[in-house]
């Protein structure tokens, strides 16, 4: 599903650390990611994250995905593989 009238753009990645020193990754995308329904495990580079929530907002990248880094990897067939070759990293 694409947002009506929104041009396809590279994802924006926002890395944050919350008060408990946990890494949180927010992905903002111009297109909906298939099968990205919480709670799913996502592998990005050599790290594993749990997809905590997804939402739709406004702007050029309306699809938002909040992921929390997991302490250990959980390899398996149901892990979503995410590659962000063209992504823009923000802080």
- The closest alpha carbon to 84, from 33, 38, 20, belongs to 33
Contacts of 52 (CB under 8 A, 6+ apart): 38, 39, 66, 67, 68
Structure confidence at residue 26 as a pLDDT band (50, 70, 90): very high
Write the DSSP string, 10-39: --EEEEEE-TTS-EEEEEEESBPPTT--SS
Scan for tokens 């599903």, then name that residue: 1
How do residues 52-61 score in pLDDT, each as one tens digit? 999 999 999 9
Dist CA 73 CA 58 (whole Å):
33
pTM here is: 0.85
User: Domain segments of the chain: what residues?
Assistant: 12-90
CB contact at 8 A, 23 and 16 = yes
Mean pLDDT calculated for residue range 7-35: 91
**Structure token pair of residue 7:** 């041009």
pLDDT of residue 6: 64
């Amino acid at each position: 599903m694409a947002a009506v009238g929104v041009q396809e753009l590279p994802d924006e990645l926002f890395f944050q650390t919350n008060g408990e020193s946990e890494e949180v990754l927010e992905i903002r995308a111009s297109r909906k990611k298939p099968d990205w329904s919480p709670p799913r495990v996502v592998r990005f580079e050599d790290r594993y994250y749990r997809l905590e929530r997804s939402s739709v907002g406004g702007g050029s990248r309306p699809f938002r995905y909040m992921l929390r880094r997991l302490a250990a990897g959980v390899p398996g067939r149901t892990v979503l593989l995410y590659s962000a070759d063209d992504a823009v990293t923000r802080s």
